[in-house]
Structure formats: structure tokens, C-alpha cells
Amino acid sequence: MATLFERINGNDGIFSGSEYKNDALLFNYIESARFDESAKLYSDHKNAVIVIPDAGNRVWIWTASSMKKDTSKLIDICRFLRDTDISKPEIYLKQEISADFSDMYAITSLELGYVVKDELSLAAFVYDGGEIKETYDGETIIHIDKNNPEHVRLVTEFYRACCDEFHWNDKFDRKVAEYLDMQLYAYVRDGRMLANAVIGGHTDDYIRLKSIAVLKDERRKGIGYQMCCYIINRILSCGKKPVLYTHIKNAGAMALFKKSGFRMHDKIYLIKTDETD
């Protein structure tokens, strides 16, 4: 493991800087990881924070703006990631350093037998409005309990209907188990889940809206908007602000979140890797 980046905790001075506090990345993995044992944080104590998960392959990187053209420091990050044992990492980082970093990481990843498979832009949204007037019967939205057999049935049937769309045919049971372990809310009508929403990523000031999913044959009926409004009100009732990330090319999601009162705060870049043939 490279020595430039040292394991840190929530008291590190890097977290007190104004640039860090105003950065979109703090809304999820980096800030929540400070108070969670599911990831390890490393830093040079000045310009960068790297979040390495204990499980999975999602790596989050925060850098000061001054590192944008500092090739040597960006190479140091690439080398640090090279020395970890994460299989096929997905790397999230600031849009402003993405071009410089991704070129160098593409070369570094080849040394490990990986290739950069995809590069995507994500939009980070923050909700700054007030409570939204609910326009539906609140009893149709329930909090899923994985110990309730009826709730397990609802989740299983919902994702079985979405299995082909999500490309889950070879990992269906594992994905259903993962969603049952999440903080999941379901829109139910006549014993059938039509939509759901997942929240997580709690910090001192924010709670992340992780996803909203609607059955294909129930879309464009306002259900996604109703779920979004419900979750916004749930988060506001905790005294926190809702935040979320979505792919910029997902026009439907972008329109839904803007309609619901979110504003784009920043852009994030995602680098995906895969094994070379």
C-alpha cells in the first residue's frame, strides 16, 4: 500500500476546509463513511480523500481544485488504487478533474488486467424547498419489513417483473436480498407493488434518496412523482435535506427530480472498469 495516503478518521483537518464542505461528494459516501465502519478513509491530510469500501467495488475520491493540473498527485492516487485489491473498481470523482485523471487511470488499470469500460457523468441534486402537499392516499405507501412475508413477496414480484430490464437474470436472488436489507418504501395498490424508493447515506445535514423505481407499465402516471414527494417529506421531517445522484443522460429522472423541487448542485464523474479479454 502506498504510504502517501494514510488511514484517517473523522477528526482529520481535511474535513474542516470550506472547499470540502461545499463539495457535492460530501453528501454521500465520504461524509457518511466517516461515521461508518463499512469503509476505510485515506488522505494526504491536505488535498485528497479516498474512500475504500470493505465490501463491493465503489471507490469515492475527493480532491482539492488545486490538484486539477497536478499530474504527479493524480498519478499518486492511481498508484494507490492500483495497490488495493478491489476487483473491477467503479471510481466516483469530481467532474473537473475527470479528464486528467481518467487518462492516467486507463493506463494504470491495464497493469492490473483491467480496461476502462465506461465513463459517465452524474448529476448531484439538493432539495432546498419545503414540505410538499401530498396528493395521494398516504396509506398506499409502506415501509418494507424484510421479516414480513407479505413484504418479501411484494419486493420479489416487483423485481422479477423488472429482471430483464435491470439485466439481473444471473443475480436475481442476491439483488432481491440486497433490496430487502435497504431502507425501502413501496407504493402498493391491490396487493401489488407499483413503485418503490430507497433512502440511505445519512450525514449530519443530509439524507440521500438512492433510487426511485416504477414498473414499466405504470410509468407516466405520476406515481414516481408521488413517491418522490413522499420521500422528500419523510427526510424533511427528520430535520435534514434530501440529496441524490442520477445519470445526466437519464432524461426522465432528471425531469422528475427537477419537477419535485431538486436543483442541480454539481456534476460527478464515474469511471467503470472491466477485465481485459
216-253 per-position pLDDT tens digit = 999 989 999 999 999 999 999 999 999 999 988 888 89
Whether the CB-CB separation of 155 and 193 falls below 8 Å is answered with yes
Identify whether residues 154 and 99 lie together within a single domain.
no
User: Does residue 270 form part of some domain?
Assistant: no
Q: In the sheet where 114-127 sits, what is the strand order? A: 6-8, 39-43, 48-53, 58-63, 90-94, 262-275, 114-127, 241-247, 206-214, 192-200, 183-189, 141-143
Per-residue pLDDT, 31: 85
User: Does residue 249 form part of some domain?
Assistant: yes
Neighbours of 175 (CB within 10 A): 14
Residue 115 has pLDDT above 80, yes or no: no
Question: Long-range contacts made by residues 190-196, C-beta under 8 angstroms, separation at least 24?
Answer: 192/154, 192/157, 193/154, 193/155, 193/157, 193/158, 194/218, 194/223, 195/223, 195/224, 195/227, 196/144, 196/155, 196/158, 196/227
User: Does residue 173 form part of some domain?
Assistant: yes
Per-residue pLDDT, 180: 93
User: Does residue 1 form part of some domain?
Assistant: no
> In CATH, what number is assigned to the domain containing residue 254?
3.40.630.30
Residue 275 has pLDDT above 80, yes or no: no
Whether the CB-CB separation of 98 and 237 falls below 8 Å is answered with no
Per-residue pLDDT, 96: 84
User: Does residue 266 form part of some domain?
Assistant: no
Identify whether residues 220 and 252 lie together within a single domain.
yes
User: Does residue 106 form part of some domain?
Assistant: yes
* Model confidence pLDDT, tens digit, residues 42-92: 999 988 999 998 888 899 999 998 888 788 888 889 889 888 878 888 999
Residue 35 has pLDDT above 90, yes or no: no
Identify whether residues 156 and 105 lie together within a single domain.
no
Identify whether residues 100 and 185 lie together within a single domain.
no
Identify whether residues 72 and 152 lie together within a single domain.
no
At residue 26, what is the residue type? L
Residue with cell 461515521: 35
Identify whether residues 11 and 117 lie together within a single domain.
yes
Identify whether residues 217 and 251 lie together within a single domain.
yes
Work out the percent of the chain whose per-residue pLDDT is above 70.
Answer: 95
Per-residue pLDDT, 189: 92
Per-residue pLDDT, 138: 53
Identify whether residues 120 and 143 lie together within a single domain.
no
User: Which pTM value belongs to this model?
Assistant: 0.80
Helix (H, G, I), strand (E, B) or coil at 136: coil
Query: Which residue segment(s) compose the domain that 113 sits in?
Result: 6-125
**End residue of a domain, out of 83, 104, 125:** 125
User: Does residue 242 form part of some domain?
Assistant: yes
Question: Residue 41, Cα to own-chain centre: how many angstroms?
Answer: 17
Average pLDDT for residues 188-192, to the nearest whole number? Answer: 93
Identify whether residues 112 and 143 lie together within a single domain.
no
* Model confidence pLDDT, tens digit, residues 254-269: 999 999 999 988 888 8
Q: Whats the size of the chain, residue-wise?
A: 277
